[in-house]
Amino acid sequence: MKRVIGIGAAVLDTLIEMDSYPREDIKVRASRVFSSGGGPVSNALVCLAKLGCDASYLGLLSDDEAGHRLADEFKKFGVDNSQIRFVPGTNAFTSYIILSKNSGSRTCLFDKGSVPDDPKGLNFDSIRYADILHLDGNSLEIAKEGIKIAKGHGVKISLDAGSVYPHIQDILPDIDILIPSEEFALKITGKESVEDAIRALEDAYRPEVLVVTQGAKGGAFLDGDEIKHYDSFKVDCVDSNGAGDTFHGAFLAAYLDGQSVSECARFASAVSALKCTKAGTRTALPSKEQTLEFIKSRR
């Protein structure tokens, strides 16, 4: 079984479902409120486990109710949590997300908590047995230690580059599978189009795989010297939260199956679209079989 180890954000999300985003300075009743584990790398790992990969989280969590709940959720959804170290006296990374049922949009407010970005005491040795080390730009010092092990043992390194975090440029030369958002790609390169941003990223970093995601518009990728585009699948969107994280997990699952970049993007788009048809991220994930049947039905 192919193995992916993730280092990055593990977040306790509180999701607030409403008919539409509220106006400022009013009281309004939510349709539903529920909580779930989240975070780009964390959700991607859950997606990978759902699709049949061996997924494991490596990092630090707060030694409180929230931190232990996050660790328990990993186990519940099939992600190995044995490489987690709990840090006493710290607060968890938390977020509050407003979901608009009318538009399918999500608005996020977050607190990064007080868990340190400290690699001491973590077991990085497990990375040498992985196929991919997946990162999201959070816990950057821990990620850098993981990169050292991965580079020394031929492990591919993947980055979900959603936002331009401080010092993210430090690790970009080490990335084999670079999948930034359109926002990241334009901001980090200073370009005005996705196509120009792809050329600039390729010239600067030479990743093995380079894909730029554009949400509901699909995205673009480099195929040899040619820039190609892929479409998203149109569905009735109930909840878009975690769609990007899901895309990354599904892309890596298809990549590990030996699929081409184009095929990986199409498969990942389908998994992400199906996730969006239900509320929640982890409980809404489709299986590989459901995804392939969905793709077949859209041909």
Contact 122, 145 (CB under 8 A): yes
Reduced to 3 states, what is the DSSP secondary structure of residue 24?
coil
Has this prediction a pTM greater than 0.85?
Answer: yes
The chain-wide mean pLDDT, for the chain, equals 95
Q: What's the confidence (pLDDT) of residue 101? A: 82
pLDDT tens digits along 161-201: 998 988 999 999 999 999 999 999 999 999 999 999 999 99
Q: Is the pLDDT of residue 83 over 80?
A: yes
Q: What is the mean pLDDT of residues 104-116?
A: 90
Report DSSP state, residue 181.
B
Domains of the chain: 3-9+40-59+78-84+124-284 (3.40.1190.20)
The three-point CA angle 35-38-40 to 5° equals 160
Q: What's the confidence (pLDDT) of residue 99? A: 85
Q: Is the pLDDT of residue 230 over 90?
A: yes
pLDDT tens digits along 213-222: 999 899 999 9
Q: What's the confidence (pLDDT) of residue 280? A: 84
- CB-based contacts of 226: which residues, under 8 Å, 6+ apart? none
The three-point CA angle 170-176-180 to 5° equals 70
With 0-12 / 13-18 / 19 or more C-beta atoms within 10 angstroms meaning exposed / middle / buried, residue 137 is buried
Confidence of residue 154 (pLDDT cuts 50, 70, 90): very high
Scored b (16 or more CB within 10 A) or e, 143-154 reads bbbbbebbeeee
CA distance 50 to 214: 24
CA distance 245 to 38: 9
Neighbours of 161 (CB within 10 A): 26
CA distance 124 to 142: 9
Q: Is the pLDDT of residue 279 over 90?
A: no
Q: What strands, in cross-sheet order, belong to the sheet with 11-18? A: 32-38, 11-18, 93-100, 106-111
Q: What's the confidence (pLDDT) of residue 102? A: 83
Q: Is the pLDDT of residue 27 over 80?
A: yes
Q: What is the mean pLDDT of residues 114-122?
A: 96
pLDDT tens digits along 244-277: 999 999 999 999 999 999 999 999 999 999 999 9
Structure tokens at 109: 């407010």
Q: What's the confidence (pLDDT) of residue 103? A: 81
Contact 75, 45 (CB under 8 A): no
Q: Is the pLDDT of residue 299 over 80?
A: no
- Tell me the C-alpha to C-alpha distance, in Å, between residue 180 and each of 157, 168, 186, 226, 267: 14, 12, 10, 18, 17
